[in-house]
Each structure stands twice: as structure tokens, then as C-alpha cells.
Amino acid sequence: MNTRLDLVFSALADPTRRAILAMLLEDDMAVTDVAEPFKVSLAAISKHLGVLADAGLISRERRGRVIWCKLEPDALREATVWMQGFGAFEPLDLDAFERFLEAELPDQQS
């Protein structure tokens, strides 16, 4: 399987990262604003953002002292095309896909 595709699916497997992506659908956000609704440390959010950036799902840009995050929706295109090949996942429901993977790969859960 394509390494980029592996990174995208790995990033999408975490509910916190999916929530971050949903937040970024609205607008670009500063890292501190992304972290605000979560009950984890800023360092933990930074790690999540790193995973999302490594997968190409977000980009980060320093503006002065603030780091801004921006959604990169084109990164989902390859994953969407791959999933549509199965037909059973239309319309795209990533939560259902995650449940399917958890059922099929119970030893892989973290």
C-alpha cells in the first residue's frame, strides 16, 4: 500500500485528530485555539498536529509568534478514491470505516 495512504489512514484513526480536522473545516486556527476544547496538554495537541501534518492533512505556518494550522483537503483525495473502490463505504463515513477496522484488526488497537 502507498506510504502516504498509510499515513492518512493512521492519522484518521484517532478521534482527537478527526475532531481537529472538523474544527479546521471552519477556518484556519492558531495551535492554542485548536488545543482549547481538549482536556490534554498543548504538547499532546502538538503531537496530534504533527501526525496530521506528516500525513499532509494540515499545513502549519508561523505568523509572527503564532503557529497557524490550515486544513489541506486534497490530502484526502487518494484515500477517498481508494475507499470508493469498495463501494460499500459510499457515502464516505469515516467513523463506520474505523469501526470496521477495529472489528477486523482487534490486535492493532492502541
Nearest Cα residue to 56 out of 78, 25, 39: 78
Number of domains comprising the chain:
1
What CATH number does the domain containing 85 carry?
1.10.10.10
Question: Among all chains, which residue has been given the C-alpha cell 457515502?
Answer: 91
pTM greater than the 0.85 cutoff: no
Q: Is the pLDDT of residue 110 over 50?
A: no
DSSP of the chain: --HHHHHHHHHHTSHHHHHHHHHHHH--EEHHHHHTTSSS-HHHHHHHHHHHHHTTSEEEEEETTEEEEEE-GGGGHHHHHHHHTTSTTPSP-HHHHHHHHHHH-GGG--
Does pLDDT of 10 surpass 50? yes
What confidence tens digit (pLDDT) does each residue in 24-81 have?
Answer: 999 999 999 999 999 999 999 999 999 999 999 999 999 999 999 999 988 888 888 8
Residue 55: per-residue pLDDT:
95
pLDDT, residue 82, reads: 82
- Which tens digits make up the pLDDT trace of 68-106? 999 998 888 888 888 877 765 456 677 777 787 778 776
The domain containing residue 27 runs over which residues?
3-108
Q: Output the pLDDT for position 109.
A: 47
